[in-house]
Amino acid sequence: MSIRIQPSILSANFVNFERDFATIADADGIHVDVMDGHFVPNLTFGTGMVKHMQEITKLPLDVHLMIEKPELWAPKYSELGVFSVTFHFEPCSDAAATAKAIKSHGSRAGLAIKPGTPVSAIEHLLEHFDQILVMSVEPGFGGQSFMNSSLEKISLLRDLLDSSGSQTWLQVDGGIDLQTISLAAGAGADTFVAGSSVFGAPDRNAMINQLRTAGELARTGQ
């Protein structure tokens, strides 16, 4: 199984994305954290900036919406033509319909759960999604420590996806570094968001490649 590394631009320089994107060319995609100051206390950017991000990189954009009313906003991001749009289960009034709307514009649809949300809450929704995101920190800020409680959720989701023959990606976001990626990959995750560990490294591409290797080793060692 292939391992994907997606640096989170929450740790990048917000007034110099073009320069920072050029330093992560070895990534499998760029994770774009959209925060509204309501669902999470932090605030980042909206559709206008994401539209222009597409003009300065060839890497696929993986948009992570940490916003209220995702059913209204998620389709507007997929209309921009981004690679994937992930929204949170917790504030969404109709997750299946929102996934359908995202996919109708050609983007992959993702469903995210906060650390306090159990897998059982979304089990019935898995079939509608191309990727599932397990948050391993409380969403809102970069640089937090990985929560080991996410590992059980990753294992459970891996079993559920495998038992139905699903090709849905299993993504983890928060506190991923060279140590924690092995834990998360060993539990069954295949797609990794890494903010501070990549952007804080002296050679960001080297760190991306080291993370990918560590993830592959942990997956094959199962």
Q: Taking every pair of C-alpha atoms in the chain, what is the biggest distance, in angstroms? A: 45
Single out the segment in contact with ligand DX5 by CB under 6 A; choices: 17-25, 78-86, 149-157, 168-176. Answer: 168-176
8 in contact with ligand DX5 (CB under 6 A): yes
Binder of ligand DX5 out of 23, 144, 210, 213 (CB under 6 A) = 144
State the binding partner of 88 from ligand DX5, Zn ion, none, CB within 5 to 8 A by kind.
none
Which residues, 6 or more positions from 169, have their beta carbon under 8 angstroms from its beta carbon?
4, 130, 131, 132, 190, 191
Binder of ligand DX5 out of 20, 33, 62, 190 (CB under 6 A) = 33
Instruction: List residues binding Zn ion (CB under 5 A).
Output: 33, 64, 173
The residue nearest ligand DX5 at its CB is: 195
Q: 166 or 200, CB closer to ligand DX5?
A: 200
91 in contact with ligand DX5 (CB under 6 A): no
Q: 115 or 166, CB closer to ligand DX5?
A: 115
Q: 137 or 187, CB closer to ligand DX5?
A: 137
Q: Where are the alpha helices (DSSP H) in the chain?
A: 17-21, 47-53, 70-78, 95-104, 149-163, 180-187, 196-199, 204-220
110 in contact with ligand DX5 (CB under 6 A): no
Phi–psi pair at 114, nearest 5 degrees? -75, 165
The contacts found for 104-107 with CB under 8 angstroms, 24 or more apart, are 104/75, 104/78, 105/75, 105/78, 105/79, 105/81, 106/78, 106/81, 107/77, 107/78, 107/81, 107/82, 107/83
Distances (CA, A) of 38 to 9, 41, 139, 178, 206: 20, 6, 12, 32, 36
Q: What one-letter code names the amino acid at 17?
A: F
**Catalytic residue (one of 130, 173, 177, 190):** 173
Whole-number minimum distance, CB 152 to ligand DX5, in Å? 19
Single out the segment in contact with ligand DX5 by CB under 6 A; choices: 22-30, 86-94, 114-122, 141-149. Answer: 141-149
Q: 3 or 30, CB closer to Zn ion?
A: 30
Active-site residue 162, yes or no?
Answer: no
The b/e string for 196-217 (b: 16+ C-beta within 10 A; e otherwise) is bbbbebeebeebbebbbebbbe
Active-site residue 33, yes or no?
Answer: yes
Known catalytic residues are 33, 173
**Site residues, ligand DX5 (CB under 6 A):** 8, 10-11, 31, 33, 64, 137, 139-140, 142-144, 173-176, 193-197
